[in-house]
Amino acid sequence: MKYVGTFKSGQLVQGQWIYPNQTYFEGKFDNNQPKGHGQWHFENGNIVEGDYTQIKRADVEQEDAIKLSWKTTSDIKDSK
């Protein structure tokens, strides 16, 4: 995977989280993790919008242990 976009203090704040199969999430980031509204773009051309919430995990002792929660806010769109 790779990150492409705008970085601030070495952290991605807006851009794309791209998987090897070219599926990617586009939106805002915090702690190099998606946060807030964005879109998933799939290799078949479908797009789905939604919101990521970051939740600090209490069951992990690391300070940066974050659980991501996704909530879809749109129907699947075909970009083709």
pLDDT in tens, 2-57: 999 999 999 999 999 999 999 999 999 998 899 999 999 999 999 999 999 988 87
Q: Is the dihedral of CA 21, 52, 10, 5 positive or negative?
A: positive
Q: What are the boundaries of each domain within the chain?
A: 2-74
**pLDDT of amino acid 7:** 96
Mean predicted lDDT score pLDDT of the chain: 88
